[in-house]
A = this chain, B = another copy of it.
Amino acid sequence: MPKKAFESEFEFVRWLRRMVPDRQGRLKLGIGDDAAVIAVGRGHELILTTDLSIEGVHFSRRLDPPRSVGHRALARSLSDVAAMGGTPRFALVSLAISRQTPRRWVEEFYAGLLGLAKRFGVTLIGGDTAVVGGPTGVDVIVAGETPAGRALLRSGARPGDYIFVSGRLGLSALGLHLLKQRRHAGRKIPPPPTRPAGFGDDAVLAHLYPQPRCALGAFLARRRLASAMIDVSDGLSTDLANLCAASGVGALLREEEIPGPFRDQGVIPQGDARNLALHGGEDYELLFTVPPQKARHVPRQHLGVRLHCIGAIQRSEGVLLMRADGTKQALQPEGWDHFRNRRD
């Protein structure tokens, strides 16, 4: 086994950030958040983000229908824009197609991607293509916007802020689990939902066709409710650790408040459901902090998506998990790390 280039994504990003400026001139925010922010014109800021989806890492040709691969490839970048409180506008798609790929796969991939784009008012404006000997890979770039000064960073959380999360966590990981178990083998894979965010009680649908929370993110930015925000793409434990590290704070989570994949509780043991909620990735829900004086302005739901208060920011570093009986334990980031994980 050859030596890895970097031990973790955290180490890689830290290394890269040392070589490039973080903020200068019109650059409001550089490497290390969900997306970059650039001042353009008067009153508006441009948000730019890009996400890789690679066969064998982020999707598998055996498990994932191409329509879902296209949907999720775009959803990842839309969710990054949502996590800045921005509104996505344009997308570029760079597609490296494996030489073995039939035309039908490419057509279905774009059908999934363009279907989601249409629903979010996003226009495909460019990209690049290559035919490759290795696995298929795609890089989706999304350009969005926020009113100037309203972008929600990871670094704004302060001790005493409440921690909120949207929707349910672990649902996507449960869906993947079910897909892998082939419980759905032989059953027709469901088409993408046509209703907006909030739909998708089925864990499999939540995994195949996640709904980025763009409307919620823009709402929180517009109302100036949140102090910091990140999307739950790598799992709650990992994404909360990233938000805390960027803000130089710690957190206390109340386990019984974390909205797990409850309705599917019977499918898997309770302990597994808890682990999925804590560490399962790809939910694309929003995790945000709210100063105490603003907490009462956070609605219980937004456009059908429930918002849950799951804990509070603390001065001391690290994330603590408090169980229903009052005992506390350190919560290690055990979600997705791009330098450690792979799909198959």
Residues of A within 8 A of B (CB): 2-6, 9, 12, 16, 19-21, 24, 26-27, 29-31, 35-36, 38, 40-42, 44, 46, 48-52, 54, 56-58, 89-90, 92, 94, 96-97, 99-103, 105-106, 110, 114, 123-135, 137, 139, 141, 143, 338-340, 342
Contacts and interface: CB of A to CB of B under 8 A. Distances in A.
A21 B49 CA distance: 22
Given A20-B124, A27-B125, 6 more contacts: A5-B102, A35-B126, A48-B90, A48-B92, A129-B339, A132-B137
B135 A51 contact: no
A47 to B, nearest CB: 10
Given A124-B31, A126-B30, A132-B57, A139 B44 contact: no
Contact of A52 (B29, B114, B128): B128
B137 A96 contact: yes
Contacts of A58: 130
Contacts of A342: 131, 133
Given A44-B41, A52-B94, A20 B123 contact: yes
Contact of A125 (B36, B96, B134): B36
A115 to B, nearest CB: 11
Contacts of A51: 94, 128
27 contacts: A3-B102, A4-B103, A5-B97, A5-B102, A6-B106, A9-B129, A12-B129, A16-B124, A20-B124, A27-B90, A31-B124, A31-B125, A36-B126, A38-B90, A50-B92, A50-B141, A51-B128, A52-B94, A52-B130, A54-B130, A94-B94, A96-B137, A129-B339, A131-B338, A132-B135, A132-B137, A134-B137
A27 B122 CA distance: 11
Contacts of A96: 52, 54, 57, 137
A137 B95 CA distance: 11
Contact of A123 (B27, B46, B123): B27
A277 to B, nearest CB: 25
A105 B5 contact: yes
Contact of A126 (B3, B21, B49): B49
